[in-house]
Amino acid sequence: DAQGCVIEEVSLPHIKYAIPAYYVIAPSEASSNLARYDGVRYGYRAKAYSDLFEMYAKTRDEGFGQEVKRRIMIGTFALSSGYYDAYYLKAMKVRALIKRDFEKAFKKVDMLACPTTPTVAFKLGEKTQDPIQMYLSDIFTVSVNLAGLPAISLPIGFALGLPVGGQLIGKPFDEGTLLKVSYLWEHTYKHYELVPLS
């Protein structure tokens, strides 16, 4: 194009497994890391309790939101005896395949561009009662997290009167190029000046 970029299509065949892999790995890590927040040494402590067990229970009940509690429960299950190999270990193998797909793509291109989500932005409160739909909308962002890559989301326009985001994904430790290209994109297209059409 006019900015000197060449567009080439690449394939990430294992990205379809990113959601299940991420939602085993991330909750497992959250469960493990948040175990220390018991109200004794770290974090919030419930105000009223009668014994140690009640302090732990109330602290975690009051101190963590619904989504955090959901992830802790999923992670605890995935790491439990008898399920570790079936879930966590398998998800880590999928993570390695996703990372390998990105490595192969970066042998052909300097940067990847894709949507941030598969749909336009949700209306305020629209999906809060359906966490599965919210999780599914993470397909393009969680794969980047699994591969350990830098990425940035930019406004690229409007559809149905709602903002649409585009994501630029950089090579490992190449945040500088990512920021330069996103800055160029922002100043070339000036999406921040656009007004949505209702």
Return the pLDDT at 145.
Answer: 95
Helix, strand, coil proportions of the chain in percent (round to 5)? 50, 10, 35
- pLDDT attached to residue 28: 93
Q: What sign does the CA torsion over 68, 175, 190, 1 have?
A: negative
- At 111-155, the pLDDT tens digits run 999 999 988 877 777 777 777 777 888 889 999 999 999 999 998
Query: Hey, what amino acid is at 118?
Result: P
Q: What is the pLDDT along the chain (198 residues), one digit of tens a residue?
A: 556 788 899 999 999 999 999 999 999 998 888 877 777 777 788 888 888 888 888 888 888 888 888 888 888 888 888 888 889 999 999 999 999 999 999 999 999 999 999 888 777 777 777 777 778 888 899 999 999 999 999 988 888 877 888 999 999 999 999 999 999 988 888 877 776 655
What was the pLDDT predicted at 198? 55
Element spanning 153, H or E:
strand 151-159
Provide φ and ψ at 89, rounded to 5°: -60, -40
Q: Residue 137's Cα: distance from chain center in Å?
A: 9
Helices (H), ranges, 64-171: 66-79, 90-105, 131-136, 139-147
**Measured on CA atoms in the order 157, 160, 163, 166, is the torsion positive or negative?**
negative
Total-model pTM: 0.80
Q: SS in 3 state form for 35-76?
A: CCCCCCCCCCCCCCCCCHHHHHHHHHHHHCCHHHHHHHHHHH
User: pLDDT value at position 118?
Assistant: 87
Question: What is the pLDDT, as a whole number, of residue 193?
Answer: 76
pLDDT for the residue numbered 126: 77
pLDDT given at position 90: 95
Angle formed by the axes of helices 18-34 and 66-79, to 10°?
100
